Structure 1
Amino acid sequence: MDFTLSDTARMMCDTVTRFVDQELIPLEAVIIRREAERGLEDTPLIPPELEAGLSRKAREIGLWGIDLPEEFGGHDLGMLAKCLIFERLRHSIVPFVPQPDGANFRMLQDLCRDRQVDRYLLPYARGEKSCCLALSEPGAGSDAAAIKTHAERRNGKWVLNGTKLWISNARRADFTFVMALTDPLADKRNAYTIFLVDRGTSGLSVPTSFPMIGEYHPYEVVLADVELDDDQVLGDVGRGFVPMSRRLGLRRLEMAAGCLGLATRCLEMMIEQARIRHTFGAPLAERQAIQWWIADSYQEIEMLRLSVYRMAWKMDQGDQDVRLDGSLVKVQGTELIARVVDRAIQLFGAMGLSKELPLEYISRMCRVMRIVEGPSEVHRWLIARDLLRHGLPEPHCTAS
């Protein structure tokens, strides 16, 4: 495996590091206060005027379309560079993500046809439209095969009925990817279809939001006799399962890269505090317990980093079957950050529990990560099932 970056990718990583230090970290106190004060409301954590300014600055410095092809205005830097950039962005708790979202764009790029290109793909690539994904349901979270939202043909239209739950950005998105059952008798690879549903479509409503721990605030999405034309079917009828699975795998890689950034931030804070904080006449750095916390955190971060980079490298080589890798990095990343931030809070003591530092915010935010995009238990089951069916995969090595 070769993790060498191009000169352009290295320059972009350096640019992102400066952007985080100069633009994001100074906003952390604002994010902590807004998250504490919003209570049960769905107030965005980044004030809209500040987010617009961040987006403008990000675009000016080239932090736009990181992995989009050049013909769509992107840099086409590849997944390894994108992981490094996401890792650096998540060095801060400010939930700013450069647009357009690569996971959603790739699904649009692969599946959009005819009028969909001008209606959805190109506006999304230019940042003129936003979207969200409506997949989970009251009885279908990790078990996507339990989806009950269904679509049937009536008078030349597709008619959708069902309820989606825990949908991020549902009230602000210009359009929604909706996964619906179109053939209840088929196997899962041929039973589900992805639909593109515009905001304001008759029968589409977002009646409820759910205040949650950390930065998440998802919604309920209800579809009541939503009528759609054939040109709002994304891809082939009944063939939505595979592209959706690929999209979820990419999101898990991005989440793991973000966990690397957060864990590295926590470790840096631990090291600095251990050097300057004295107890009983000696610095914390001389305490064996503290040394082990730091040593264990560093080792775990480096092992995760190799797994994340390996998955990204495989995708850059054109490997489409990275389901096993996606489950691995998702479990390891989300559980790693939980351990590291817990050690950091323990090291800082009462200050670690306060809102003067980002640690207590990170500890609550990262707890959500072990559930969203598939809980750890499901991913462990998926890994074990794959290994029991197919045996151990071959090591990925390049010839000398």
Structure 2
Amino acid sequence: MNFELELEHRMIKDLVARFVNDELIPLEAAAMAREADGQRFALLADERARLDERSRQLGLWGLDAPLDAGGSDLSAVAMVGVNEAIGTTVTPYVLPPDSPNLRMLCDSADDAQRARYLDPYARGVTRSAMAISEPDAGSDPGALSTTAERDGDGWVLNGRKIWISHASEADWTIVMALTDRSKGKRGGISAFIVERDTPGFIIERRIPMIGGLSTYEIVLENCRLPATQLLGREGEGFVPMQGRLSNRRLEMAAWCIGRAERAVALLCEYAKQRTTFGVPLAERQAVQWWVADALTRIHACRLMTYEAAARVDAGQDARTQISMVKVFATEMAWTVIDHAMQTLGAMGMTKELPLQQMASEARLMRIFEGPSEVHRWVVARSVL
């Protein structure tokens, strides 16, 4: 049993870490300052363009995209290492393209869809979004009410989607809809690719979230699509959707490892310098225990995440393990970051340091892609 990344994958992780340190972390202060002034926590267009160009130059574009689409086709295990490095910064940038939507296209797209959507997406020409949740259907896909009904040789979609990230800048969105209500998630859910300018596809509102982030609500109002926009086969959208969610949950776990490691580093740096009542914080037992617990939890989380990713690479069913990882990683990161903020005191609350942004994002990740309670239910259900 090997607990280390292969040499090639370690080299890629190290390259990403240098990219983070040289290009991303220097942008944190400006992004946090804009958010503190009431703007969104986002990169400026020129900042994103420069990062895109630099990541291309370094060969970091499309790391898990298929070889025939110009990518490196990295394994799930290798991508955990990549995302650990990305997770050490709060600068809102992820190496393009967005992996989960990419994987869903790889799993379901036909040749024409690969040419129209997958290939440009893998090259970074287009951006995407994913529309699953609804006002009355969050973690239970069986409760979806958005419908797709046949109309001649096409489809008509009606419904409402919510909590959609990147909807405003997406060139196309994967929309999950009911095509057979009687079958529900067991053969009644299909996926559709909806281009941004399609009549009846309406971005109704932006929803501000904690940490200066945003999601969107989408309305589908007699949204007519040709048959070519059905992604995969009719009624077979649920399994690829679950695969897409599993991919994102592994990403989140890796980000949490990176966030927690950065938080511990900030904690230790401050604790060595700060003296209270004549004693360095680093000599306080409470602080020492927080550090020890943090390092232990990070180590455990890393092993859990790599094991789950290895199952994915081996083609095994990893849903239960990924649910375990989703709960453990997000709650671990939240606790570690909270202890770092407590150690730094008032300085930990400022928007001059990344801890407050890390805390907001860690809190969001305990909800996004399935709340902890639902994942605990999934784990328990596997044995009860």
TM-score range normalised by the length of the shorter chain = over 0.9
1:216 aligns with 2:213: yes
CA-atom RMSD in angstroms: 1.3
- Poorly superposed stretches of 4+, deviation over 4 Å: none
- Give the letter aligned to residue 201 of structure 2: L
SS in 2 for 1:210: strand
Q: Is the 8 A contact 1:27 1:94 kept in 2?
A: yes
Deviations 1:60-116 (A, max 9, x none): 111111122322211222111111111111111102101112221121112111321
How far has the Cα of 1:44 moved from its partner? 5.8
SS in 2 for 1:387: coil
* Rounded Cα–Cα distance in structure 2 between residues aligned with 1:85 and 1:310: 16
Residue aligning to 2:365 = 369
- Give the letter aligned to residue 312 of structure 1: A
Q: Is the 8 A contact 1:135 1:179 kept in 2?
A: yes
Residue aligning to 1:394 = none
Residue aligning to 1:386 = 382
How far has the Cα of 1:156 moved from its partner? 2.5
Q: Is the 8 A contact 1:3 1:313 kept in 2?
A: no
Residue aligning to 1:177 = 174
Q: Report matched runs for 1:67-216 at 5 Å.
A: 67-216=64-213
Deviations 1:285-308 (A, max 9, x none): 111111111111111111111100
2:288 to 281, 284, 291: 291
Residue aligning to 1:391 = none
- Give the letter aligned to residue 291 of structure 2: I
- Give the letter aligned to residue 341 of structure 1: I
SS in 2 for 1:170: coil
Q: Is the 8 A contact 1:189 1:242 kept in 2?
A: no
Unaligned runs of 5+ in 1: 389-400
Change (3 A) 1:337 1:4: closer
* Rounded Cα–Cα distance in structure 2 between residues aligned with 1:273 and 1:211: 32
* Rounded Cα–Cα distance in structure 2 between residues aligned with 1:70 and 1:155: 37
* Rounded Cα–Cα distance in structure 2 between residues aligned with 1:186 and 1:239: 11
SS in 1 for 2:347: helix
- Give the letter aligned to residue 343 of structure 2: L
How far has the Cα of 1:144 moved from its partner? 1.1
How far has the Cα of 1:155 moved from its partner? 2.7
TM-score, normalization: structure 1?
0.93
Q: Is the 8 A contact 2:282 2:288 kept in 1?
A: yes
- Give the letter aligned to residue 19 of structure 1: F
Number of equivalent positions: 384
* Rounded Cα–Cα distance in structure 2 between residues aligned with 1:87 and 1:232: 35
How far has the Cα of 1:245 moved from its partner? 0.6
Q: Report matched runs for 1:297-376 at 5 Å.
A: 297-319=294-316, 321-376=317-372
Residue aligning to 2:24 = 24
- Give the letter aligned to residue 380 of structure 1: R
- Give the letter aligned to residue 131 of structure 2: A
SS in 1 for 2:176: strand
Unaligned runs of 5+ in 2: none
Q: Is the 8 A contact 1:324 1:386 kept in 2?
A: yes
Change (3 A) 1:215 1:324: farther
- Give the letter aligned to residue 348 of structure 1: L
- Give the letter aligned to residue 305 of structure 2: V
- Give the letter aligned to residue 170 of structure 2: A
* Rounded Cα–Cα distance in structure 2 between residues aligned with 1:95 and 1:258: 12
* Rounded Cα–Cα distance in structure 2 between residues aligned with 1:73 and 1:215: 34
* Rounded Cα–Cα distance in structure 2 between residues aligned with 1:158 and 1:74: 33
- Give the letter aligned to residue 172 of structure 1: E
* Rounded Cα–Cα distance in structure 2 between residues aligned with 1:126 and 1:3: 32
- Give the letter aligned to residue 195 of structure 1: F
Q: Is the 8 A contact 2:142 2:184 kept in 1?
A: no
Q: Is the 8 A contact 1:168 1:216 kept in 2?
A: no
Q: Is the 8 A contact 1:214 1:368 kept in 2?
A: no
- Give the letter aligned to residue 30 of structure 1: A
How far has the Cα of 1:126 moved from its partner? 1.2
* Rounded Cα–Cα distance in structure 2 between residues aligned with 1:138 and 1:382: 22
Answer with 159-168 or 187-196: which moved more. 187-196
Q: Is the 8 A contact 2:9 2:81 kept in 1?
A: no
1:274 aligns with 2:271: yes
How far has the Cα of 1:127 moved from its partner? 1.1
